[in-house]
Amino acid sequence: MSKPLVLSIDIGTQSIRAMLFDKEGNLIHKARVAFNPYYSLKFGYAEQKPELYWDKLLEAVNTVRQESGEKWKDVIGIAPTTMRDVCIILDGEMKPLRDAILWMDRREAEVPDMPGKTKAIFKMVGMFETVKKTASGIRANWIADNEPEIWEKAKKFVMLSAYINLKLTGKLVDSVASTIGHIPFDYKNKTWFKENNLQRPMFKMSLDMLYDLVNPSEKLGGISKEVADAMGLPEGLPVIATGSDKGTETLGTGCVSENIASLSFGTTATVQMTTQKYVEPIAFLPAYPAVYPHRYNPEIQIYRGYWMISWFIEQFGYSEKAEAKNAGITAEKYMDRYINEIPAGCEGLLVSPYWGAGLRHPEDRGAIVGFTESHTRGHVYKAMIEGINFALMEGTKSLEKKTGVKVEKVAVSGGGTSSCEVCQLTADMFGVPVVRVQTYETSGLGAAICGFVGLGEFKDFDEAIGAMVHHQEPFIPNVDKHNLYQRLFEERYVKVPKRLRPIFRDKNKEFDGLKRKIK
């Protein structure tokens, strides 16, 4: 064996990536297999066949196997990470009873009646509607109410991460840092609910439908003979616990100090901090267990995030897509020129980026404000990126207030970080240095760190991060542009959702009938 390698597997919304990392954090080989993210039987539904994830995983792994040649023999372990809040129900033989329900699914379950005392507490703190919104997204409740014949056969209710671990090892076990979704999980104590938990009545499932949990970097098991044969790896090869894709991204950017914020420019855009104390980003909405030991990741989400950019290009960027194809570059790369060409603030155009509303204000909707005859597609493109960043700035300021920690640096991850223009724009808007690491596959890198620590190649996470995470030259904010963006944020951006909220709230009532049809 020349250099030990970890096989990271990253299962996202639209693709699966298999990657080989070495102990210096170098991405040695990578394969990406894309697929349609979901199918919809009804408006608002988002489902996928569990078998598709496994089949595409094997396809990605075997592509890397073929391309890596002799280096495949240097693989010492597997470190899987997946997207969050994708649920699968299993029968007594651990086979899926129905297709997976994804995180962006919009069907709503009936909210179980809560005890009067519990209801009074939520109302007293002004969070009853938020709690109801959260409870309406509990997939187990929807299945129990609407598919009773399936629910009667259900023995286990699992997240996608646990299902993948089961397929790899034959054992139903998962990491506490992957256990994120509409599930009865105590995020502060990193364990399943006790029966007396305040929120326990919201869940119709019995607690014996859940499964064992371990900490990141612990061994989940070894791959079965069937998997070993399918991958060309030795039977019993260790599978190491990691965390969710967002959690491993944060680890992979080296964000383990409280004064560094982690921005993820993904399908869902997020800002996370890494804290020693458990701090809820919004009352009754949890901070997640971090992959880094004894830490939490309070997080603010922009639900549709950089999906909006893909959506805009797909719907309105016809000519840019054609010109980009002729130039041999991506449409995003072609359109990034607008970021430099168009002035900061997009000459009055402002985007409120709530194409998918969050839990704190579920009535919010997306809006583009300030159009004149001078605005072009380029203005809208840049305004969308500015709008996402404004929302992330708002989230960061909220986390700073909650934690009492001032953010002094931002580390970025996700596909958007491949753009120098986006990174510089982010520095200008946030007013602090922005750094990226040696690869934009930070989720895979974070998973590999867990793998090497769990396999004893490093004594702890700090040693592994020091060896594997390499911050590149920072993007330094332009002071004049930052001052402009700060003024726009305070005087315009934060006011737009508040002013529009009553309009959307009234308008949304007209869709209540449609919502009932989605159930």
- Cβ-contact 178, 217 below 8 angstroms: no
Choose the most confident range, by mean pLDDT, from 195-204, 218-227, 300-309: 218-227
Average pLDDT over residues 130-156: 91
Distances (CA, A) of 316 to 42, 237, 319, 337, 365: 26, 48, 8, 16, 20
Whole-angstrom Cα distance, residue 151 to residue 141?
10
pLDDT of residue 123 exceeding 90: no
Residue that wins the pLDDT comparison between 303 and 401? 401
- For residue 265, count other CB atoms closer than 10 A to its CB: 28
Residues for the chain: how many in total?
A: 519
pLDDT of residue 21: 99
Average pLDDT over residues 56-71: 98
pLDDT digits (tens, 9 = 90+) for 368-403: 999 999 999 999 999 999 999 999 999 999 999 999
pLDDT of residue 237 exceeding 60: yes
- For residue 172, count other CB atoms closer than 10 A to its CB: 18
Whole-angstrom Cα distance, residue 226 to residue 1?
24
Average pLDDT over residues 428-441: 97
Query: How many separate helices (H) and strands (E) can be counted in the chain?
Result: 19, 23
- Cβ-contact 378, 345 below 8 angstroms: no
Beta strands in 290-403 (DSSP E): 296-297, 299-302, 350-352, 367-369
- For residue 78, count other CB atoms closer than 10 A to its CB: 27
Average pLDDT over residues 77-81: 99
pLDDT digits (tens, 9 = 90+) for 248-298: 999 999 999 999 999 999 888 999 999 999 999 987 789 999 999 999 999
Please list the residues that pair with 75 across neighbouring strands. Answer: 5
pLDDT of residue 141: 95
pLDDT digits (tens, 9 = 90+) for 134-143: 788 899 999 9
Q: What is the mean pLDDT of the chain?
A: 93
Average pLDDT over residues 332-348: 95
Amino acid at 426: T
Average pLDDT over residues 171-177: 99
pLDDT of residue 504: 77
267 phi and psi angles, rounded to 5 deg: -50, -50
Q: Which of 26-35, 178-187, 302-311 has the lowest mean pLDDT?
A: 302-311
pLDDT of residue 377: 94
From the list 474, 337, 488, 365, the residue with the least C-alpha distance to 410 is 474
366 phi and psi angles, rounded to 5 deg: -75, 150
Confidence of residue 513 (pLDDT cuts 50, 70, 90): low
Residue that wins the pLDDT comparison between 356 and 187? 187
Whole-angstrom Cα distance, residue 391 to residue 426?
12
Ordered structural domains, the chain, with CATH: 5-240 (3.30.420.40), 255-436+478-519 (3.30.420.40)
Confidence of residue 511 (pLDDT cuts 50, 70, 90): low
Average pLDDT over residues 407-421: 93
Amino acid at 486: Q
pLDDT of residue 112: 76
From the list 73, 102, 86, 19, the residue with the least C-alpha distance to 446 is 19
Q: How far is CA 482 from the centre of its chain?
A: 28
pLDDT of residue 507: 61
The rounded radius of gyration (Å) of the Cα atoms in the chain is 23
